[in-house]
């Protein structure tokens, strides 16, 4: 068996096309374009690539955006006062602080400073909390993008055994919530694994749907999965590669070659989950401009 490829680039384009149409429709009714404020602290190369991709996607769908670049020495107090000013600014619909932050800053504190009504990343505890009780909220973009992939490819999730490897606040945990809620789209029986899980394979081998979000290059090998499993690779890891001009290559959390021989569906890296994350951010920013989730 060789797995069918889940083409995140293609599905993301479809999502972006829908957002572009909706943005045009919104503007044709006399509204200004949605506006996303991005904040980048420091000059982490990967973060620059991610904010660059977000800016490009905004331009593509007609969302206006500005990236404010701040010194990595900025104090928590200064950063929070900048965020608070954007909270108060009616011309700003969405606020995104690119993570990770320099180690002297607490990402929890910083995220909680963002007005939850402008938290288009869906990381604020208000949005995460509402997700867990099936209330309207901004849904964290990466897991929301994965749910969209299941929908697009008509991959059944209900009553399946989903195993999420990774339990971070921004990917693994919200992914597990979306998969497991019985009143919303997921309805899967869901297992969450993390770095304290003993015998990871014991869990992954029974997964109908396996989400790898551990940030560990090629952690999931073919022998760790069930024949016919759906495998979603969230990982984006830079590993040294002397043959590449950049000196590194990107690999996922899945050992693609061995896993694709056993899986029924698989996402590639790059071109799988990554483009969906950005597309869902566009969707959330439009929802923020329209005040669809939190009406005034």
Q: Which residues are catalytic?
A: 54, 98, 121
SS3 content of the chain, % helix, strand, coil (to 5): 40, 15, 40
In angstroms, what is the minimal distance from the CB of 67 to ligand NAD?
18
**Contact, 267 vs 149, CB < 8 A?**
yes
CA quadruple 296, 117, 96, 120: dihedral sign: negative
Residues 280 and 277: their CA atoms lie apart, in Å, by 5
Q: Is 233 exposed, middle or buried (0-12, 13-18, 19+ CB in 10 A)?
A: buried
Least separation in angstroms between CB 141 and ligand NAD: 7
Q: What are the CA-CA distances from residue 15 to residues 33, 52, 199, 267, 274 (Å)? A: 18, 19, 38, 17, 13
Q: Which CB, 19 or 213, lies closer to ligand NAD?
A: 213
Q: Are 131 and 72 in contact (CB under 8 A)?
A: no
**Shortest CB 1 distance to ligand NAD, Å:** 25
Return all residues near 108 (Cβ < 8 A) that are at least 6 apart. none
Distance of closest approach, residue 211 Cβ to ligand NAD, in angstroms: 10
- Site for ligand NAD, rule CB under 6 A: 142, 165-168, 170-172, 193-195, 197, 200, 213-216, 219, 234-237, 273-274, 277
Q: 33 or 122: whose CB is closer to ligand NAD?
A: 122
**Closest CB to ligand NAD among 92 and 98?**
98
The count of C-alpha atoms lying within 13 angstroms of the C-alpha of 288, restricted to the half-sphere facing its C-beta, is 32
CB of 111 to ligand NAD, least distance (A): 13
């Amino acid at each position: 068996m060789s797995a069918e490829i889940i083409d995140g680039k293609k599905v993301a384009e479809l999502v972006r096309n829908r957002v572009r149409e909706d943005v045009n429709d919104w503007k044709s009714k006399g509204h200004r374009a949605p506006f996303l404020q991005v904040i980048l602290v420091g000059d982490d190369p990967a973060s620059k690539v991610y904010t660059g991709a977000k800016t490009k996607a905004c331009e593509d769908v007609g969302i206006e955006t500005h990236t404010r670049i701040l010194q990595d020495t900025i104090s928590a107090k200064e950063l929070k006062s900048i965020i608070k000013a954007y909270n108060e600014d009616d011309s700003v619909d969405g606020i995104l602080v690119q993570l990770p932050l320099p180690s002297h800053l607490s990402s929890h504190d910083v995220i909680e400073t963002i007005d939850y009504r402008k938290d288009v990343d869906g990381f604020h505890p208000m949005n995460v909390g509402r997700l867990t009780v099936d209330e309207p909220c901004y849904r964290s973009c990466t897991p929301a993008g994965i749910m969209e992939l299941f929908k697009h490819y008509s991959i059944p999730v209900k009553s399946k055994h989903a195993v999420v490897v990774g339990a971070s606040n921004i990917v693994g945990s919200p992914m597990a919530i979306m998969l497991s809620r019985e009143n919303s789209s997921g309805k899967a029986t869901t297992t969450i694994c993390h770095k304290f899980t003993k015998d990871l394979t014991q869990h992954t081998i029974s997964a109908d749907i396996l989400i790898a979000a551990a940030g560990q290059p090629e952690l999931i090998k073919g022998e760790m999965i069930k024949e016919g499993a759906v495998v979603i690779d969230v990982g984006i890891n830079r590993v040294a590669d002397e043959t590449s001009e950049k000196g590194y290559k990107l690999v996922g959390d899945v050992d693609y070659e061995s896993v694709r021989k056993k899986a029924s569906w698989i996402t590639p890296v790059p071109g799988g989950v990554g483009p969906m994350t950005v597309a869902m951010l566009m969707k959330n920013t439009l929802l923020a401009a329209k005040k669809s989730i939190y009406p005034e």
